[in-house]
Structure 1
Amino acid sequence: MVGDGSPLRGQLGDLALTLAERSAAFRSSLPASIASALADLVRSMNCYYSNLIEGHNTHPVDIERALAGDYSDNPQKRDLQLEARAHIAVQKWIDEGGIAGSATEPAVICEIHKRFCELLPAELLFAEDPVTHEKIEIVPGELRERDVQVGRLVAVSPGAVPRFLDRMHQAYGRLGRTEAILSAACAHHRLLWVHPFIDGNGRVARLMSYAILLKALDTRGLWSIARGLARKEAAYKGHLAACDLKRRNDLDGRGTLSEEELAKFTRFFLECCIDQVEFMEGLMKPERLRDRIMIWTEEQMRADLLPPKSDVVLKALLYQGSLERGEVAELLNASDRTARRITSALLEAGVISSETTRSPLFLAFPAKYADRWMPGLFPPED
């Protein structure tokens, strides 16, 4: 951790407090039903930007199609859809309480890697040695058994990896709230520095940090740092590389690596988090969100893509959060048949959801309409 003697320590504490306050305010501003629908979309967003950092561009619309079992005929695109589906499955497992203890436990870190990799197509379960160009098999959840070099970083020897992971958990596994928030950044770099797996370390580190913040801030999965890191990818990777540097002098912490650079990365990481909370908060302002959805709905009705009075149902869901199916006819002042027709059209369009044919109706946030409903969340589909 960044020590109390660091010139940036006070600033980092203030940023952690600001992040906790902004995250709590955003969470409490959303009705439970809308928060649940938003969390589903954020998983696709998090997956998209995490993939982008890895050089894999799978648009959330294609991710959404993959979740519905609709895969591309192009083998490469299909593989990336399967990769995205694997990422979302792991994040859903985290969101639903799959990690009982600390996200820094070595067994949990290996479980994250295992759950992700075992869902990948065989073609993506190989890494290439940058020097020999040898193809190396990736075994889900298995720590590496060979030396690796990533850029200038020569990672710790394979025999030392378990000891370093144990030390990580000792340092980050049992912290107070503020320290836990800071550890999301510190542990992020340290895991990448240890480089426990042949491949997939970046993704595992981001999912681990996501899980730390989910628990420390009770984020409910309503925002994610992945978008912020992807939008500042050069700075993100630059900070990580700087954190690999050795301690410069006696004023640069007490460990082997530079504390000053770790403090700078932690500041960058927390500022990215705060920026993403503020971005999501702005998108979900009730009046603006309602206006954007209502304008889109009116356009769809004028184009005969949605039946008349669809806007009434969506407006009710935006205000109430949910609707019993039996309430729709009364709300529309229409027959049961008309109510069922409008409900079916909205369900088919993906803008509302329901667990069963008799369950209540909820608003949904489909990725295919995100550029209109939530502009800036990710680029429009080509």
Structure 2
Amino acid sequence: MLRWERGTVKSALGSWPGVDRLEIELEGGEETLTAIAYRELTGTPRTGETVLLNTNAVRRDLGTGGDAMVVARPDSLQAADEIVGHMVKARYTPMQTMVDAIDDPAGEHYETLRDARSIEGMPVIVADLHSSLPAIIAGIRAQRRSLRIAYVHSDAAALPAAYSRSAARLREADLLSAVISAGQSFGGDLEAVTVHSALLGAKHVVGADVAIVIQGPGNLGTGTGWGFSGVQAAEALHAASVLDGQGIATLRVSDADERERHRGLSHHSATVYGRALLTEVQLPVLARHDSRYNGFHESVRKQVKTSILKPAKKRGVLHQLTEIDGKGLRDALEDMPVRMTTMGRTLAEDPSPFLYAALAGRCAAKLAPRD
């Protein structure tokens, strides 16, 4: 069931492309909340305006950033601009929205997508946590600064691509060439019906040298072996494989997570790459000759061999353990224009997850074709 609450906009707290964050005084005047409004869905509420909120996640202290969601503006039911697209996202929900997808028969890119069959060896980096995105880009740019990068926002977590402040800042800093929202997600620079068509769009519409596929913020985990939204990473790597791409799997690691199942190599990486994946990929790890190599990295390597390579090999899947030099990656991470945090921990508190994401980025840059 949805929890509905009504309130009045007191002030605007800030914004980023596609999103407005507001202070809302709830009906009765005894409580205020912060709320997010997606311009694509509701437009921008004005100060003094009444809004209808969905407060489910806020009231249950779930991980939505502590914000309610603006669902409607009862006093501002203005007619929408002419709808150009023919594709519906968030289908059959009250907030379904029309988009102009790259694979829409009426769209400008349809002929390109209809004829596209392959991504022609383009490296495709996949991760299960959205916090890996800026670190992967740091690794790519540390190796080859001029590469064009497309980010495919999949639909396993936050459906609105605009929710990602990291992606917005990376676009503004010209570190990303495009955001493509795939599946039921929406609001990217380009829209695609599937991850497959998003990857074809990255190659043939954006002209990307490297694509990154990650779910948006809001990874859902249950503590069970298979009950986590990041398992979709396997499907993205399958898509890369059938389209002739080079799949690179970002290892999720931590030296600071208090949960035993996520210390060293996360059990999620073991499940996705060791058990769910049916195609060979590269698994970037820190090179043994690197001066930063220590007991932690040796432990991760052993876990990868035991939890990923061995079970995959039993099923006939031969992943490649790829040694990548970490030289210069810490500086590259610190130079990024977004704050590095994962599961509430910063780069200083838990550098390992960001390092391994950057290793995946550097690996992809090495594989990207040269002119």
TM-score normalised by structure 1 residue count:
0.24
Of Structure 1 and Structure 2, which has the larger fraction of its residues in strand? 2
Of Structure 1 and Structure 2, which has the larger fraction of its residues in helix? 1
**Higher RCO by CA contacts (8 Å cutoff, separation 6 or greater):** 1
TM-score normalised by structure 2 residue count:
0.25
Q: Which has the larger radius of gyration?
A: 1
